[in-house]
Amino acid sequence: MPMKLNLGTTQLDLELPVIMGILNVTPDSFSDGGQFSEPDSALRHAVSMANAGATFIDVGGESTRPGAADVSADRELERVIPLIEKIRGESDVLVSIDTSKPAVMVEAVRAGATLINDVYGLRREGALEAAAGLGTAVCVMHMQGEPRTMQESPHYDDVIAEVSTFLAEARDRCITGGIRADRIVIDPGFGFGKSPRHNLELLVNLRRFTELGLPLLVGLSRKQTLGHLTGRGVGERQAASLAAAVMAFERGANIVRTHDVEDTVDALKVVQAVIAAGNE
């Protein structure tokens, strides 16, 4: 049965690769140096990613990079809400909101977002209730610890089993809380409380997470593990990111979150065509 994600107004077909373009609107955003924090340049970048084939624009106003400090709800709201309104005014592209705060979820959905992407997996107070009440789709991600300290000494006895159990429990919590299964996306959370070795193990065994029967999102774009493997700085990890995206898609990822939309769209078109030809 072809997998679909229920976005309320539309059923998103997950048979073909779905690309999510990253739009950080944090002044300190590590991987793009905050170059999109000016409202106009952020809007232009969103439209250009949509034209390059992004299905979603993932708007984030809360820095979740390793070591980052918390942002207040008011600061986050003033960064993301006008931008979501403008994106939706200029384009039919879908918007996801990268937040863990209930107030931001509510306002972002009112402004036109249809997917709530929460790196805390709806575990913060009021988040599950807010998301369930909004009736949108959600992405629940695994994270060990919290952004400020999560990379200090990540430890697992069995990273695959532990992330898998976490995601199964997150799914059950969502369903019990009133979010229907056809609105839930899961994500193993590359780089969120994981060493390079843990991240490699997650990528090798990514297929295991498809056993939960839900769409799978991955975010590897420009992350530290790729720097660790290539010796390259954050602004020169495009090729490494593309290799990781290809391998994740081959292992069952449905949605790929990336800074480099155009290249990722092309690469995954080729991979998809090869997989389809192999199934004929």
Q: Which spans of this chain sit near ligand YH5 (rule: CB under 6 A)?
A: 30-31, 64-65, 98, 117, 119, 139, 141, 187, 189-191, 217, 219, 221-224, 234, 257
For residue 57, how many C-alpha atoms fall within 13 Å in the half-sphere facing its CB?
A: 32
Residue 112 near residue 84, CB atoms below 8 Å: yes
Catalytic residue among 88, 101, 183, 257: 257
For residue 54, give both structure tokens: 């992004």
Taking the complex as a whole, the smallest distance from the CB of residue 87 to ligand YH5 amounts, in Å, to: 18
Cβ-based neighbours of 128, under 8 Å, separated by 6 or more: 122, 173, 174, 177, 179
Residue 235 near residue 257, CB atoms below 8 Å: no
Closer residue to ligand YH5 in complex, CB, 30/156: 30
Closer residue to ligand YH5 in complex, CB, 205/279: 205
Q: Is 223 a catalytic residue?
A: yes
| φ and ψ at residue 161, rounded to 5 degrees | -65, -40
Closer residue to ligand YH5 in complex, CB, 65/208: 65
Closer residue to ligand YH5 in complex, CB, 1/69: 69
Q: Measured at CB, which residue is nearest to ligand YH5?
A: 219
Taking the complex as a whole, the smallest distance from the CB of residue 203 to ligand YH5 amounts, in Å, to: 12
Catalytic residue among 223, 232, 251, 269: 223
Cβ-based neighbours of 53, under 8 Å, separated by 6 or more: 19, 261, 262, 265
Taking the complex as a whole, the smallest distance from the CB of residue 70 to ligand YH5 amounts, in Å, to: 14
Residue 201 near residue 163, CB atoms below 8 Å: no
Cβ-based neighbours of 23, under 8 Å, separated by 6 or more: 36, 42, 45, 46, 49, 57, 58, 59, 60, 83
Q: Is 88 a catalytic residue?
A: no
Closer residue to ligand YH5 in complex, CB, 130/244: 244
| Residues that are catalytic | 223, 257
